[in-house]
Structures are given as structure tokens and as C-alpha cells.
Structure 1
Amino acid sequence: METKKIVLNDIDYITYNDKPLIRLFGKDCESGANVIAYDNSFKPYMYVLPINKEDCLNQLRELGLENLEVETKVDIGVEREFIKITLKHPQEVPKIRDDIRELPDVEQIREYDIPFYRRYLIDKQVTPSNIIELHGESIDKLLYENIKVDDDVILFKIEDNPIDTKKASNQNRILSFDIEVYNAEGMPDAETDPIIMMSLSGNYGFDRVLSTKESKHDYVETLDSEEDMLRRFVEIIKEENPDILVGYNSDNFDLPYIKKRADTLKVKLDLGIDSSSIKFMKRGFNNAGVIKGRVHVDLYLLIRQYMRLDRYTLERVYEEMFEEEKIDVPGDKIYKYWDSDSDALEELFDYSMDDAISTMKIGDKITPLTIAQSRLVGQPLFDIARMTTGQMIEWYLMLKAYEKNNIVPNKPSNMEFNQRQNSKKVEGGYVKEPEKGLFEHLAYLDFKSLYPSIIIAQNISPDTFTDGEGYDEDEYYTCPENGYKFLKEPKGFIP
């Protein structure tokens, strides 16, 4: 059996011969080559809390469900018997879920809405951005028919559980990209307004601007047409083979615009290491640009989480982070600079290059934090870069729940959510109103992590919540405001 170590960058699943096939995307730690590792052993599942176990098992079998196991799980501090239902394909889960819910001896169904690839990461205990040890064999690209990949991609069939080494890569190759668009009519229209410059910058010393006009600058590469420029953009990304592609507002502008222009001009954007094109998926209220095997991070979304600014333009963010101004060209004047064929055009080249360099420097500075969050939460960097803090906490708790054999509670229904929103508000900590005026010689004092400290000190957790019956007063903590009680022992799941 062959052993291969990869840095895990991405994960998804595809359907092959009507069965789910997990794909791990990474880079070989020795050669740096791209790797797609396939695992066909993992199956989707969910749990049922039965009213009567034997009757429930019989009712499930009558639905045609045969792969049933009884497992003991911890449900908010209480051990209960659950029936684990293993299915053949993730798409079966929503189809059978409602039928199961209607069975007379089913009290609840649990863990039916965890995405398949995230379930794999949790159950296999492998962490994105870490070095993962794989056991299996390298396979011929012809083994999986109709699955296309680049010639230099290594295909690997996983034959044993992957092992997380808990180590991370020493350095990530970050490549930024930015586009300039001809906009004589105001807001550019991807149907008609061409891309006039495409700039890229790597944190390893690569700088390039692609354009159809010539320049005195060495970093400018001149192409014959917009179509050639788009093809060269794809070539560079494949040649440079970055671990992380960063843009600024690239989910909402750059990538959709590039995709639309490529479609209009019939240019193939096979940017993924599986030769796939850019795809877009819903993340909250926005679309997220997906490039398979290459982690795309929109820095604008991260900056909105990490910083509090009056404006979130690239210029403002760069100035705040590096205490220097970047080159600026007014957006409504870009087409005039392009049409000038003079010093103004050279200034536009400088501006385009500076956009990519500034984006790269911002990415190089803040992505280590996002990578650390990915390693802590155990979810892909692409997803973490688009999660709220609350969502990250939820996925972290799910990871810990699996490790402690706890079953995950269901999401609240819309009615429950509204009831919580409309319930009595909890008064926050006391804030003393300062005297108005200007002061000097100030001392700053703050209690960091106040609420987490209280949660840990008072053992606050759903599984330690009690009405106090059967316990002495010195066996639980009492909240002075509302009288809620939490057991001192055992230690709760949350703390």
C-alpha cells in the first residue's frame, strides 16, 4: 500500500456509478504536484430517536431501509438509544426524511442536514489546511471514466482512513487577481464592456498585468485580443499553481464578470485542477465563486469581519493596514485613461498592478488568521472565509460533539427562532457614562472575554441546567438575576 502526504486544500463529492465519491484536493508534500484523492467508502447517515425501539425498527424496515444500527448517544447530558440509518447516497436523505418523520414510533430525526463532505471531515477527523497522510494507491486517469483532470494532476485512491498529522504547511502560495473594465457608459455591463486589464501578484515575487495595449513596464504582457488575455489568465493560474487565490470583492464583481466575458467570447475557463470552470454557489445572501482545488478567498468579506472602518474600499483598507496610500484612479475615469494612449495609460497600468499587489499584501497578512480558524473549526478555508463567527462556533461544537459521542440538536424551527427573538431581553453589563469633554493621560482597562469566563467559571451549559431538585444548594450555581441553576459537576459540554 502506498503512502502519500498532502496539504488538504479543498473537499467535495461527486456521483460516480450512482454512488457518492468523496474528493480530497491537495498538494503533494514532496513534489508540490496537485493531488485528487478519491474515497468511495463513506456513506451518508442520520439518526432516529425512537418511542419504541423494536416497533420503530420494524417500521423503518417496511420503508425498505435495511442498514440500521442501534447506538447509544449522549443527548444534552442524557444517554439515549438512537437508530442510525445509513443510506446509499446523500440525495436520498431529503427524499426519505419526511417519510421517516411520519412513522408512529419516531419521536425525532437528528443530524439529517449536515452536508456530506462536512460530515466526512468530522467523522474522519481530518482538518483542512493540515498535512494529511493517505494510504492507498496512485491510479490511472482512465480508471474513472468521464472524469477529466489536468495531465499533471496525481489521482489517488484512498484504501484506509486518512490520518491527520496535526501539522500545517510552512508557507502558502497566495496569488491575487484584479480586473479593470472599460466603462464609458458608467456602470460596466459584462455583456458589452470588455476587460481591458487583468493583474496578478504572488507573495513569492510574481507580478503581471495582462492587456491588449503595450506598455514600457516590464510587468505588462501584451496580448492580441481579450480572448487571448482570458486564456493567458487561465494559463498563468495553472502555471503558478497557487494554494489560495485572493481577490477584493471578487465574489460579487471580478469572478462573475470574468465568467460572463468568457461565456460571451466562448473562452474555456478551466481553472479548477479537475479542469472545471468557475461555478457559483449560495453563501448567505451572496454568491461565492468556486474554483475546484484552488481556495478562492474574497478578502472584502474578511475585512468586513475583522475591521471597523468608515469605508471598505481597497484604498481605505490598504491605508489602514500599511499606513501608506496606494495609487488611485477614479473609477469613472478608467475608460478615459485607457483611451488616452499617453502617460495616463501608463498610470492606469501602474494602478492595475498596484491593485493586485495591494490585494496580495492584504491577503498575505490576514489569511493566516483565517487558516488558523479553518484548522480550529475543522472546515474548509473556502467555507470559513464566508462564515459568520456564530456559524464557526456551531461547526466547532459539532466537531466536539462527535468527539464526545454527543448527538447534535436540531436547528430551531422558524417559530422557535421568532419566539427566542421576541423573548425577554437580557440586560447587558453596566456601562458608566463618561463625562463629556476632551481628556488626556487616559488609562484603558477592560475585562477580556467576560462572557466566556463566566460560562467556564459557572459551568453554564445545556446539559448542566437543572431545577435543583435532588441536589444540595452547594452542588449548583445560581444565576442571581433569574434564579437559573447549573450543576457544578460534571463539567458541561460547552465549558
Structure 2
Amino acid sequence: MAGGQVVALVTTRKFFRAFDCETPQIEDEWRELQSEGAFMDFKRRNGGPLMGGASQAKRGKATGDWEDSPSQFEEELSMFDDAEMDVEDLEGQAGHDVIPVGDLFSADLNPRWRRPPAPSLDPSSDTLVFQQIDLDYYLGGSIAGMPGQTQGKVPIIRMFGVTDNGNSVCCHVHGFAPYFYVPAPSGFTSNYLSEFKAELNSVVLKDMRSNKDNISITVLAVDICRKESIYGYHGQRSLDFLRITMAMPRLIAPAKRLLEQGFKFGPFPIQSYQAYEANIDFEIRFMVDSDVVGCCWIELPTGKYRVREEKSSTDTDSQTPGKVSFCQYEVDVGWTDFISHPAEGEWQKIAPLRVLSFDIECAGRKGIFPEPDKDQVIQIASMVQRQGETEPFIRTVFTLHSCASIVGSQILCFTQEKQLLRSWAEFLRTVDPDIITGYNIQNFDFPYLLNRAAALKVDYFPYLGRMRGIKSVLRESNFQSKQMGRRENKTINMEGRVQFDLLQVLLRDYKLRSYTLNAVSFHFLQEQKEDVQHSIITDLQNGNEQTRRRLAVYCLKDAYLPLRLLQKLMCVINYMEMARVTGVPLTYLLSRGQQIKVVSQLLRQAMKQDLVMPVVKTEGGEDYTGATVIEPEKGYYSVPIATLDFSSLYPSIMMAHNLCYTTLLQKGSAEKLGLSPDDFIKTPTGDQFVKSSMRKGLLPEILENLLSARKRAKAELKKETDPFKKQVLDGRQLALKISANSVYGFTGAQVGKLPCLEISQSVTGFGRQMIEKTKQLVESKYTISNGYQADARVVYGDTDSVMVKLGVTTVKEAMEIGREAAEWVYYPYLLINKKRYAGLYFSSSPDTHDKMDCKGIETVRRDNCPLVANLINTCLQKILIERDPQGAVDHAKEVISDLLCNRIDISQLVITKELTRTAQEYAGKQAHVELAERMRKRDAGSAPNLGDRVPYVIIKAAKGAAAYMKSEDPIFVLENNIPIDTQYYLEQQLSKPLLRIFEPILGETKAESVLLKGDHTRCKTVLTSKVGGLMAFAQKRSTCIGCKAVLKTDAAVCDFCKNKESELYQKEIFHLNALEEHFSRLWTQCQRCQGSLHEDVLCTSRDCPIFYMRKKVQKDLDDQSKLVSRFGCGGCIK
């Protein structure tokens, strides 16, 4: 087929596929074209990747000679554009185009950038209602007519939000001051209040190292109130407490310390005072006291608020301040004068928040990762989408130098980088996003932009928040939690905007093998993207308009995918609902651990009952016995196994037995309070708690509220028909479930705000008791003597479920018998050990299984290479689904043989581990840590950083070498032909998982002899390395291609094999053609992934198995080309 025909067919096929049209004739021609290899011939003739071997592809240069047809992603962009054309006409806009901007940048370049015009607001007749999305505080001057202190600086709460019409709001809340409690000393009366206040004020002032705010009064008020400690049951006797109100939040810590160290005043001797609620964040304190929760709707009634107007710079009246934010509405209100609506009914709605997703591209130098003080920012892609909509309504790329147009996007071209950065910052302030997202923007994009702008001295760039005159400043921070481990993070203040870095969300919520955008997109969207190495980006930038256009499309895709992922995973909705349920600001969920959510709920419930929470010093405590696991009867069960599951076991135990801080009886308390044995319970661990008839516990009340709210949300979810409202309700019920389950964890956190070993160990004690009782009940009820087919036997019991062998042969029978108690049925069931089992899960229908459920098996673990997961998964499918254990054995032996003979692709052998500490902080040397150090020496810019997952393979080394010395970068291994230590993979990676699943079937001794010994393990292939060891001193000599005899020249064959030269030549050419075909298929697959069949592949995604295959075949192709070239013209003639 001629080249023109190929082009015509490709273009026609793309056109029809863009509109989902059935074109059987064209598809037949396309298949014929592929089978004939015509496309490959066309590529060869027109400078494709196989012209001159794989060298051009290896160089990764884009020629730009081919005028490409639209990629799949570009087609999506053009469809967005088509849908918006009517709106464009109404707005009088010429459409998305390429605009050479230069110094002419204006916020009016695109009318869509701005928010809808804000209607005028009259406080005397209009109410202002908005959804609060961010909340913080600042120190400012008092305002006439507003409550609070009138002199000096005062803390002012600032709420940012959006109205139902999409207008932005900044609300300053006045009059709320921070406070904490201490117990009043014995004999204290109201007569001593002023003396106590004066003395405490004096010692706090003396303790201050600097007084830059000129504070003269630190203690605003001291009041007596009746309160009761939350910790322990005291017979509901309230005591006198002193509520100490401080002038500023930062003064609470020194006041607490001074009181704890020993404080003397008046006639009272020096004594230590226990502080209560002195460790509560000021924002949480305000939200609890004013009944505000995260992302709730706030209403400012008529006559209760004041609107701020623009003021001239000459107007210096501090009592009536003008606007200090970029928000459309800016108001002042007293802290008791607004209404906070609970998230129920109509107030469950979500405002049309603006979500900006962006990505930057930098022109790095060869072999060096981009550095902001030296390397340019060359492109910034930005997409803006309204929450609740499915498509971005703004798609803009800021590019350095000219760029060809992209249908459906607006391209703004700049001649200078300073203009580009200044204009993008102005664009961000004009668009005024509520949420800013992207991938790793917190630790790369934003820090790079801020540092680059500082290096270029770009005025006004760092003012990215909603407050005028407040710079966005970069700070380094370390975050550590049990859930996420230790991470080095960068934080940037951006008042009024929520930074929703998708990478941080995924690290917090999902356990994945890799967290690159490419791997994450494939995992959740089944869609991949080009992963272009930073050094290639510079080549594209230095090319022409077409190559910069390709880079712009790549950059746009990187900005678009986070929006797609947010939508798919419902991240924003789920986090907003969690903020509403737990009562914390949205930003806390992204930057803080789990405990703050329970503290917020606990404080709200405690305040209703005049209870106060003590500040507990924690340094880690004794451990307690965990949940019961009934000893498993290991084996392969080819009969149905019914599963009895306890719904919300731990919350249910806490509610049923009234386990709480407020109901806990300390040793000897029962006797002191005169309680009878009927007034309290004794837990299996010997701890005592009063019954609900004496006092209803706070924690049970919180749990009852959460679970009943979840029940209501699920009931509403079933009735709801609107898709967006269904997503909100689903997010709400999930947040309620997670919150209920986290209450137990809060009590068991030894280093936490309020640990209580008595509660946590009692919960697990009751759990063990319930599991044991369930086992006895099941085995005594389901018996032949009671009319059942067989005696039931519990084969395993886990934390909150028991697995029962009922003695029936079909799933239907098991379901019928188990309807009284069983949640689901496993059939067949492979019980390997404690916390390790697999089975086909039947729940909805006895005829088809819902899924293959695996727990604690290598199919779901991330610390093994993919080969282990794939092999175990295939074996389990053969054992459980195909019911063919022998087929599973044969497959395992075949894979082991391929491994030892070096026939397994390297992508299957890559192990990834997270770099959580530096090398010095580990007790022993770790493979991934040592490799990271070696990679840093080779190329510091692209080396893994703290928090990254490090991919590596284990290579052959000297006998007895430690594993950490044998870890190596997979690409380095491929490029240098370094042999893999296949024996390590067999012994350390494959053998244990394989034996675990086959021992219950074959028996312990037989499993090892069948799988790990025999003919399939005797043949091994070892590569010769190009680096290391004696290879540095070796002299390479050519050998005969036929008999491998050493040759004096670089000829193809020796004299003895000369007569077979033609036959050998044909054989090697055949091998070369096979490699070319294989490489062509891989190349085409990568082109399809990048969205174009006519451009060079630049992708270097280390998470993609095709990338490793392509690199390997590419190298084999180069080697084979060199080998064929040794035949010279003589071989060709013959």
C-alpha cells in the first residue's frame, strides 16, 4: 500500500472513531494494513523508528516533520470546545486561539476567567448565605461596633466561602477569645478573681522574651464555673473551675506552663495547676463554641453584619476598614451574630466551587533535574472546573515562545519568562479558585514557581492567596503519622484557597505499588499518559511551534488527569463530608492526622454536659492484648465455608457496654462512691465502667449519633435520583462509617491527646469473648442432633468474623442455612494461616461469585515484585475458579523455569519500597536506601527523595554479598547487561508465597520437592555484564557466529563454518526481523497510549511494563544489527 493510502486510511479511521461511528470496511482495511506490515514499510521510508535500527527512537528526538492528526486527548478538548460554541458566541469571544501576549496581558483576555458579577448587598435588608470552605485567624485591630477587646491587637477569625451563585466571600468574625481551664484551688471564691488575674498577667508578661505586639494585657478575664473532668466517673459531681481567657492564642502555652510549674497568688501557697483544654487549636475552639463544622453553610442575618467597601489609600480610619481581600463580598460580623446550618436537607448542597488544576514544565539541563535558580519555566497548563460539572470550562496554556494552536484550548505565548510568570499569577487571582489541585504541586510545582519568581525578581508573583499584601511563603515541614509514616513536605500559605494536592490525598487514602501520575491514572481510570523525561522536554522546547505544541498537549493532559481522578474518586465530596461530620476545617483533613477529628467530636459532646478535657502528657505506654484470632484449621476446602460477620464490632461493643472516659471507674472508686455491683460492669480485662443507667457515656453517644446518621444517609441514598446528590450522600455515609471506626483507635493511641488503655483493652477483651461465644453457639446449634445435615465446625475466627464449615456441598444450601447468621459464603476456600486466606466470595447470588477475596496474600502486598503477585494470582485463579490444582502446579513450575533461564521481563522483577528515612536513621543497611544514595551520586536531580518509592532489581554479585549491595536501578541494569540474581528471586521472593498456598493442598514436604526441585530448576542462563568486576580488565574478542571459536578478525564466521555462512546469515536476519517486528508492536502500543501513531515515543514511565520491554528489545535490536553487520556484503550476496 502506498504512503498516501496509509495516510488517508489513518486519517479517515480517526475521523470516524472520533464520532463513535461503525466503519467495518475501514476496520477491515486497517487490520489488513497491520497484518501486511505496510504501515511498518511506510514508517521505514518516512524516517520512522526502525530506520537505521532503533537509534532514532533511543535518541528520543522529535523531528516535527509529520503533520499529526489529533490525539484522543485532543479530540476530547475539541469536543469541550464544540459544546461551548454557543456560549462563546453569546459572550462575543472569538474562541480559543493562540494569542501572542507579550506585555499586553490583561485579565480581560477571556471573560470566563472572572466569577459571575456580584449583586449589590444591603446589610439592612439582605441576608448573606455562603458555604464556608476555609477558616483561619489573624491578629488585627479592633473595629468600632464589633464585640471584643478595644485596645491592642485581637484575634479575628476569617471564614472564606462561596455563595450559591458562585460569588466569593471573606467574612471577618470578631469577639471570640481563646481560653482554657484549671481547677480552682480549695477555698477559692470570686473575691480572689481579680488578684489571680493580675498575678497571672504579671508572670506571663515577665516570661515573654519579646513583645513585638506591645501587649500590656495578656489575661483578659478569669471566671469561676462549674465543670466536671471528662476522665473518670466521679458520681456526676461538678467542681469549681477557673476559665482563663487570654488575649491571644499563642499566650495559652506559656500560661499553662507557668501554672503547671507552680503558681502563687494572694494568700494561696505555691501549687501546680492541672490544665484542661489548653492544647486545643484556636480554630477548633471557635468552631466548637459557635457550632460551626467544616464546609457548612453560614447565614448572616439582616442587620447583623457590615459590608466592607474599597477605600482609597489616603483613608486611614482604622475603625472602619476597607477591603483587604480579593473576594467579591467582604464583611464583618460578631461571633454570636451568625447562623451555622447543620448539613441536613437543603443544606447538604455544595456551592459551585472553582477547582483549578495546573501543571508546569521546566527546561532542565541534560542529566540534571531542573533547578529553579537556573532553569526556565517554559509552560504552565491550567484547567478550571466548577464542582458538580464534568468538564473544565477554562483550558489555558501559558507558553514561552510561539506554539501551534490546540483546538479547545487557549494558548498565550510570551517572549520573556518574567512576563509568563507575572501573567499566570494574575490569571490565578482573576480566576479566584477555591480549590487548587494538581499532582505533587505541594512539593514541586508551587515551590518551583515561587523560587523561580524570586530568582527572576518577578514583582507581585508570590501573592497567590485571597488576601492583598500577604505573600505566599514556602516552609519546610516534616509530617509523621502511623497511617502515612514520615514525610518531608513543603507548605505554602495561600489564605482562602484549599490546596488539594492529589498525590498527598492518594498517599493518605490508598495503598498502591506506585504513586506516579501515570500508574495512578492506569489504576483508577485504565488510562495512561506519556511520561516524558525532564531532559527531553528541553529538546521539545528548543524545537519549533509543532514540538512546543506537543509539549503543551502533554502539559494539558497532566493538568486534566487530576480533575478526572478527583471526579472518579469523589475526593472533594468525600473530604467535604468528612469535614462536616467531624467538625474540622477542610484543610485539617489534608494536613493533620486522625486524632483531631475525634477531639472535635468529643469537645462538642462534652460542652453540652459541662465536661472538660484534661491535657495528658503522653510518652508511650504499655501495650495491650489485641483481638482474638481462633487458631486456623489450615487446608483447601472444596466445600462452602459460611462467614459470620459482626457489623461495626468495636463501636457496637463500646455502645453495648457503655465504655467511655466518663464511665471509667478508677481503682477503689466503686467503694468510695458507694456503688453496688449492679451499678457497673467488670470487663474481661478487669476494668470497671458504670452502666448507662448511672451515666450515659460520651463516646457511646457520639457513636450512636454517627451510626444513626449513617443509617439515615443510606436511606436517603436509596431514594435519591439526582447523580450529584447521590455522590454527596454516598460520601457522607462513608465519612460517618470511617469516623465511627476511628473512635476506638483514638482511645488506643498511646501517644495521643487522650489515650485510655482501660477502654481499648476492654473493647478487644469483649471482642475476644464474643468470637469465642459465637464459636460455641454455632458448633452447638448447627448439629445433626438439631436436624442439620452435618455438625458445623468453625475453621477460623478473625477480628470480627468467624468462618464455618457447615457440611453442605453447594453454595445455595450454605446460604439457606446461614441466612440466620452468615453474611457471605466462600467456595472453595483456601485457609493458609492466621490473617492469610483466599476464596471465591458469594454474597448476592449462589450461582456466581462476586469476587475472588484474598487477605494477607502476595496478590495484595506491595513489598514484592510484580512476578510474585501475577504468579500467585494466576495460581489462585486455577485453584479456586478453574478448580485445577495440578494446572496451578504446572504453571508455577513453568514460571520458575522461565525465571532461571532469564526469560522473564525485567518489569516483572522490579521491587518498590518507600524511602521513609535517611540512610543514617536506619539501624541496618537497606537495599532501596543504599541504591538511592548510589543514584544520587550518579544524578542528584533525578534521584529518589524522602517519601518516594524506589524501584530496584537484585543483581548477581560476589558470593556472600549482602542483599543491600545487590540492589540496582532497572534501567541501569538493562543498559549495561547486568545479570539478574534469579536464584535470589526464587528463594527470597517466590518460594515462600508459593509454598504457603500449595502446602495446604500438597502437604508441607511434597510442596517443596514438587515446586522447588526437579528438572525445571536445573537449566539456568547467566548474562555477561559489561560493567564491574573483572570486566574492566577484559579484552573483548570476536567469536564465530556458528561455532563460537575465537577469531583474530571481526569476521562473521571461522574458516570451518565458511560453507554455512549463507545459512547462518539467513538465520540471523530472521532473528533481526523478528526483533524489528516485536519492537514495532511495542512502539505502536506506546504511540497509541500517547494518543498519536505518527510521532516519536518519548515516554519513560518506569511504572509501565511496556517501557522496560521496549528498552530491552531496543537494546537487543542494536546488538543484533551489529552482529548482522559483521557478515558484510559477502553474506548478503551469498
Same fold (TM over 0.5): yes
Aligned AA (1:197) = Q
CA displacement at 1:83 relative to structure 2: 0.3
Tell me the equivalent position of 2:208: none
Aligned to 1:99, the other structure's residue is in SS state: helix
Tell me which amino acid in the other structure corresponds to 1:378: G
Aligned counterparts of 1:306 and 1:41: Cα–Cα separation in 2: 38
Q: Equivalent residue for 1:250?
A: 441
SS at match of 2:225: strand
CA contact (8 A) 2:404 2:546 kept: no
Cross-structure match for 1:45: 179
Q: Structure 1 residue 146: deviation in Å?
A: 8.6
**CA offsets per residue over residues 307-331 of structure 1, 9 Å max, x none?**
1111111122222222222333234
Higher percent of residues as strand: 1
Q: Which amino acid aligns with 1:368?
A: I
CA gap 1:11/1:222 in 2 versus in 1, 3 angstroms: same
Is the 8 Å Cα contact of residues 287 and 293 (structure 2) preserved in structure 1? yes
The equivalent residue for 2:766 is none
Structure 2 runs not aligned, ≥5 long: 1-122, 142-151, 202-218, 264-269, 312-316, 387-391, 480-487, 701-1134
Moved more, 26-35 or 298-307: 26-35
Per-residue deviation, residues 426-482 of structure 1 (Å, max 9, x unmatched): 2333165585789999987754532222222221112212255444444433322x2
Structure 2: distance between partners of 1:328 and 1:42: 51
Q: Hey, what does 1:5 align to over in structure 2? A: 129
Verify the 8 A CA contact 2:467 2:495 in the aligned structure 1.
yes
SS of match in other structure, 2:527: coil
Q: Aligned pair 1:92/2:251, yes or no?
A: yes
Superposition deviation, residue 70 in structure 1:
0.7
Q: What is the CA distance between 1:138 and its match in structure 2?
A: 0.8
1:387 to 1:431, Cα distance in 2 relative to 1, 3 A:
farther
TM-score (norm 1): 0.89
SS of residue paired to 1:108: coil
Distance in 1 (CA, whole Å) between partners of 2:415 and 2:471 is 23
Equivalent residue in structure 1 for 2:293, among 127, 150, 159: 127
CA distance in 1 between partners of 2:537 and 2:636 (Å):
45
The answer (yes or no) to whether the contact 1:124–1:161 under 8 Å persists in 2 is no
In structure 1, which of residues 187, 199, 202 is the aligned counterpart of residue 384 of structure 2?
Answer: 202
Asked whether the 8 Å contact 1:178–1:199 carries over to 2, the reply is yes
Q: 1:368 aligns with which of 567, 570, 573?
A: 573
Bigger drift between 83-92 and 388-397 goes to 388-397
* Equivalence for 2:356: 175
**Residue 525 (structure 2) aligned to one of 314, 322, 326:** 322
Contact 1:329 / 1:348 at 8 angstroms: preserved in 2?
no
2:344 is equivalent to residue 153 of structure 1: no
Could you say what secondary structure the match of 2:607 adopts?
A: helix
**Would you say 1:211 and 2:377 are equivalent positions?**
no
If asked which structure has higher relative contact order (CA below 8 Å, sep 6+), I would say 1
Shift of 1:357: 0.5
Is the Cα contact below 8 Å between 1:71 and 1:84 reproduced in 2? yes
2:625 pairs with 1:426: yes
Whole-Å separation in 1 of the counterparts to 2:546 and 2:581: 50
Q: Distance in 1 between matches of 2:690 and 2:607?
A: 23
2:660 matches 1:461: yes
Amino acid at match of 1:44: P
Q: What is the alpha-carbon distance in structure 2 between the residues aligned to residue 330 and residue 399 of structure 1? A: 51
- Structure 1's 36 and 434: CA in aligned 2 closer, same or farther, altered over 3 A? farther
Q: Does 1:82 align with 2:251?
A: no
Q: 2:273 aligns with which of 98, 103, 107?
A: 107
- Aligned residue pairs, count: 488
Aligned match of 1:279 = 473
Q: Which residue of 2 aligns with 1:491?
A: 696
**Greater share of helix:** 2
CA shift for structure 1 position 137: 1.5
In the alignment, is the contact (CA less than 8 A) between 1:9 and 1:128 conserved in 2?
yes
Shift in Å at residue 152 of structure 1? 5.6
Q: CA deviation at 1:271?
A: 1.8
- The Cα of 1:66 is off from its aligned counterpart by 6.4
Residue 309 of structure 2 aligns with an amino acid whose one-letter code is D
How far residue 163 of structure 1 moved from its aligned partner, in angstroms, is 0.9
Q: Name the stretch that deviates more: 435-444 or 66-75.
A: 435-444
What is the CA-CA distance between 1:344 and the residue it aligns to?
4.8
1:126-152 CA distance string (max 9 Å, x none) = 223121012311133445489763566
Q: Which residue of 2 aligns with 1:62?
A: 199
Give the letter aligned to residue 227 of structure 2.
K
CA shift, 1:488, in A, is 2.0
| Alpha carbons of structure 1 residues 476 and 98: separation in structure 2 relative to 1, 3 Å | closer
* Alpha-carbon distance in structure 1 between the residues aligned to 2:417 and 2:258: 54
For the residues of structure 1 that align with 2:305 and 2:598, how far apart are their CA atoms? 34
Q: Does 1:305 align with 2:508?
A: yes
1:223 to 399, 414, 439: 414
- Structure 1, 212-221 or 149-158: larger mean CA deviation: 149-158
Please tell me whether the aligned partners of residues 22 and 117 of structure 1 are also in contact (alpha carbons under 8 angstroms): no
The one-letter amino acid of 1:158's match is V
CA distance in 2, matches of 1:441, 1:353: 52
Question: Do residues 138 (structure 1) and 307 (structure 2) align?
Answer: yes
Any conservation in 1 of the 2:363–2:535 contact (CA below 8 Å)? Answer: no
User: Structure 1 residue 60: deviation in Å?
Assistant: 4.0
Encode CA deviations 1:195-214: one digit per residue, 9 max, x unaligned.
12111122342222211131
Q: Are 1:165 and 2:341 counterparts?
A: yes
For the aligned residue pairs, the C-alpha RMSD in angstroms reads 2.9
State the alpha-carbon separation in 2 of the partners of residues 380 and 254 from structure 1. 24
State the partner residue of 2:167: 33
CA 1:493–1:151 in 2, change beyond 3 Å: closer, same or farther? closer
In 1: Cα distance, 2:372 partner to 2:174 partner: 41
1:478 paired with 2:682, answer yes
Distance 2:542 2:643 in 1: 54
Structure 1 residues 162 and 152, CA gap change in structure 2 (3 angstroms):
closer
C-alpha contact 1:246 1:363 (8 A) present in aligned 2:
no
Task: Pick which of 112-121 and 356-365 moved more.
Answer: 112-121
1:404 paired to 2:404: no
1:190 maps to 372
State the AA in 2 paired with 1:271. L
User: Which residue in 2 is equivalent to 1:241?
Assistant: 432
Cα distance in 1 for partners of 2:450, 2:633 equals: 53
C-alpha offsets along residues 171-195 of structure 1, whole Å, 9 cap, x if unaligned? 4321111212222242221111121
Cross-structure match for 2:559: 356
Q: What displacement does 1:294 show?
A: 1.3
SS in structure 1 of the partner of residue 274 of structure 2 = strand
Contact 1:126 1:162 in 2 (8 A): no
Corresponding residue SS for 1:24: strand
Query: CA 1:148–1:157 in 2, change beyond 3 Å: closer, same or farther?
Result: closer
Aligned equivalents of 1:273 and 1:179: distance in 2?
Answer: 22
Show CA shifts across 1:23-61 (max 9, x none): 433345265332222223111212111332527744444
Amino acid aligned to 1:215: A
1:391 is matched with which residue? 596
- Distance in 1, matches of 2:688 and 2:582, equals 30
Whether the 8 Å contact between 1:223 and 1:229 is mirrored in structure 2 is: yes
Percent of aligned positions that are identical? 24
| Separation (CA, whole Å) in 1 of partners of 2:431 and 2:373 | 29
For the pair 1:288 / 2:491, whether they are aligned, the reply is: yes
Q: Residue 114 of structure 1 aligns to which amino acid in structure 2?
A: I
Aligned 8 A contact 1:21 1:39 in 2: no
**Cα distance in 2, alignment partners of residues 485 and 72 from structure 1:** 26
SS at 1:328's partner residue? coil
Which residue identity does 1:133 align to in structure 2?
A: E
